[in-house]
Amino acid sequence: MIIALGSSRAAKIMALRSACARVAETDPRWRHAELISRSVETGAPRMPLNDTQLMRGARDRADAMRELLRDEGRRADFFVGLEGGFHSITFDDVRHTFLHGWAYATDGARGYFGHAPAVTVPASIVARVERTGRELGEVIDEVAGEHDVRSRQGAWGVLSRGLLTRSMSFETALVAAFAPFYNARVYG
């Protein structure tokens, strides 16, 4: 089985490896999955600010990877895109902004989304991102006093003091997106 990921970010590759290992616990066909990862361009904003942008970005990454491999004359069984960012909602007259992500997995004929868990983003960080138009990764580097946090624990790690990481959040989304493929009996 070959799975192609539309990203070369370490945290996303780790998430895909972990998701495949989790699925392999119940479906041995996933045990020896070969992973291909490449950076791809999409029409998604650098810092998605709602679920529509996140879902579109995840799907566009999978589709871009599919086109890239087709142009190279290569094949894959699945094409995957991951996108993380903000989603804000007003509840009881209070605005809440969450960091979460979406995964999209397709075999070229059918495609499915999976949603990552969410963590509240402090209003001060949300304001810096929205006011400056910068990506969360840049702002989190400043908040954490580190460089390239997104390639390691991500904002998730900073916000949860390392209890949850960017990779872990995407792993959950991937297991959910792949469910119709590894559990076809239920999804029919």
119, HSE (Cβ side, Cα atoms, 13 Å): 20
- Dihedral pair phi/psi, residue 60, rounded to 5°: -65, -35
User: Among candidates 188, 160, 145, 186, which has minimal Cα distance to 26?
Assistant: 186
Confidence of residue 66 (pLDDT cuts 50, 70, 90): very high
- Dihedral pair phi/psi, residue 26, rounded to 5°: -115, -10
* CATH of span 2-187: 3.90.950.10
pLDDT in tens, 14-35: 999 999 999 999 999 999 999 9
Name the token pair of 3. Answer: 């799975």
Confidence of residue 152 (pLDDT cuts 50, 70, 90): confident
pLDDT of 45 above 90: no
Q: Would you kindly state where each structural domain of the chain is located, as residue ranges?
A: 2-187
- Dihedral pair phi/psi, residue 4, rounded to 5°: -110, 125
pLDDT of residue 53: 95
Name the token pair of 118. Answer: 């969410």
pLDDT of residue 154: 83
Burial state string for 84-121 with b = 16 or more CB within 10 A and e = fewer than 16: bbbbeeeeeeeeebbbbbbbbbbeeeebbbbbbeeeeb
pLDDT of residue 151: 77
Confidence of residue 150 (pLDDT cuts 50, 70, 90): confident
pLDDT in tens, 82-134: 999 999 999 999 999 999 999 999 999 999 999 999 999 999 999 999 999 88
